Structure 1
Amino acid sequence: MYLRAAHVEPSIDALLQFIEANPLGLLTTAIPSSSYPLIQSSHIPWVLDVISSDSNAPVKGRLRGHMAKQNPHSKALIESVTASGSPSTSQLQQDVLVLFTSPYNHYVTPKFYTETKPSTAKVVPTWNYAAVQVYGKATIYYESSSSTTSEYLSQQVHDLSQLCETSIMGYTGQGDQPEPWKVTDAPERYIDIMKKNIIGIEVTIESIGGKFKMSQEMGKGDREGVIEGFTKLGSDVGKNIACLVKERGEMKDAAAANKL
């Protein structure tokens, strides 16, 4: 990821909070194989365990996820970790990448630049978005008969369900909100069958970087034009982009003022 100084988010805490707010991440691996493609990607919702926000810490956190055992990506992972007779819980030799993106992204027309376009016309289209990428080692839990795998999957599925039911759906059981769905609401035998058809993946966050590309590199007049332009779109995405452009612009201005 190109982390231009104007767009980079330096706070590890902010990057980890971004992952918590946008848990669907794209797992990408590059695993040499005669049976499966070298590069594979799969969308996976993750549970984040925060360990440290210190940029010098070797591990900042862990991502816990799972995916279908029949997924070719899963098969390539299993093939790789068992190639040398590894135990049922094994670490992939290659680093993996997990990419998280904000749901709010949009094309930016040069017409929004109310300052630069009329004066010089030296503007071009771009795209506003926010993203965080993580690099680390992946441990694969794949052997259904292993108690370690079973315990990992039970905990991960429970935690992911609770996260999604409460944080995403808002089902807290408080006030007029319904109770969250729980894994124990399903028959135990059914859950056991489902667990046999998935693998667990745990990724250590050894390197993390992210950016908010929200027009903050532009002058104040152009940023105001962008905010107005997105607001006038009248869409949910437009309104949220406008808010992010305003927020990031104010952060830029505050940082510049502190240097004086």
Structure 2
Amino acid sequence: MYLRSIHAETHIPALRQFIRANPLGEIITTINLPSYPLIQLSHVPFILDVENESDEKELGTLRGHMARANPQSKAMIEELTNTGSRTEDGSSGFLEREVMVLFNSSAHHYITPKFYKETKPSTAKVVPTWNYSAVQAYGKARIYFDSKSPVTDAYLDKQVAELSEMCERNIMGYDKPWETKDAPEKYLDIMKKAIIGVQIDITSLGGKAKMSQESTKGDREGVIEGFEAIGTDLAKEIAETVRAKSNGKK
């Protein structure tokens, strides 16, 4: 990710908050096997675990799961089988190369030069751009793939239950959320055999909020006014974010 200093977000608590507000990540792996593409990507909702929330330097751990039938999952399992890099209990293994997970905000939008009320009338030296926010996490991935292992079973029990709880409460807003125990136990056992667990210890975390900070004060005001005039929920969110990021800018 290209991180100009004016757009870069380095405050770890803010990056954690972004991930939790936008938990659907894109996990990217590079696994060199003849049967699969070198680079693969899947959309995976993640839980971010942080042992000490008050520690502003702790990066945390991402927990998720993927369909076992996913070609990316198959490539992971084949690599771990070929290299023998499993844990002592045989339930899981660590991928040789680091993985990346990209989290994107739903608040992104095309920026028309017509919004620039300062530069466009004076010089016309303006071009379109796109405003967006994203966070990228790099880390070491542990894959729980042995469906017969009680360790894998325990990981998936915890992962699926806590992910459902998080989404039901934080995304859907339910006071009485759906719980995994609401489904038949035998059905859940079948479903668990069809997935693998993914746990990523984050080693690097960075973010970007490109929200017109590079523009002049007048042009930023034009962007805000332009989106406020559109009036949709997305446009209002973009306007508010540009205004927030403009604080302290000239």
Which TM-score applies when normalising by structure 1? 0.91
* Structure 2: stretches of 5+ with no match in the other structure: none
Q: Does 1:238 align with 2:241?
A: no
User: What SS does the aligned partner of 2:196 have?
Assistant: strand
- Name the counterpart of 1:99: 102
For the aligned residue pairs, the C-alpha RMSD in angstroms reads: 1.2
Q: AA paired with 1:228? A: E
Q: What is the CA deviation profile of residues 53-74 of structure 1, one whole-angstrom value per residue up to 9, with x for unaligned ones?
A: 544x5xx100000011001110
Cα distance in 2 for residues equivalent to 1:19 and 1:46? 8
Cα distance in 2 for residues equivalent to 1:20 and 1:6? 23
Alpha carbons 1:51, 1:62 under 8 Å: kept: no
User: What SS does the aligned partner of 1:36 have?
Assistant: coil
Q: What is the CA deviation profile of residues 141-194 of structure 1, one whole-angstrom value per residue up to 9, with x for unaligned ones?
A: 00111011000000000110000000000001xxxxxx2100000001111110
Q: Which runs of structure 2 are paired with 1:213-228 in the superposition (5 Å)?
A: 213-228=210-225
User: What SS does the aligned partner of 1:206 have?
Assistant: strand
Q: What is the CA deviation profile of residues 40-98 of structure 1, one whole-angstrom value per residue up to 9, with x for unaligned ones?
A: 0000000110246544x5xx100000011001110001011111233331010100000
Which TM-score applies when normalising by structure 2? 0.95
Name the count of aligned residue pairs: 244
* Structure 1: stretches of 5+ with no match in the other structure: 173-178
Q: Which runs of 4+ in 1 moved over 6 A?
A: none
Q: AA paired with 2:65? A: H
Q: What is the CA deviation profile of residues 103-136 of structure 1, one whole-angstrom value per residue up to 9, with x for unaligned ones?
A: 0100001110101111111111100000000000
Task: Note the C-alpha offset of 1:139.
Answer: 0.2
- Name the counterpart of 2:201: 204
Percentage of identical aligned residues:
58
Which one of 152, 157, 160 corresponds to residue 160 of structure 2?
157
Cα distance in 2 for residues equivalent to 1:94 and 1:234? 45
Alpha carbons 1:3, 1:211 under 8 Å: kept: yes
User: What SS does the aligned partner of 1:83 have?
Assistant: helix
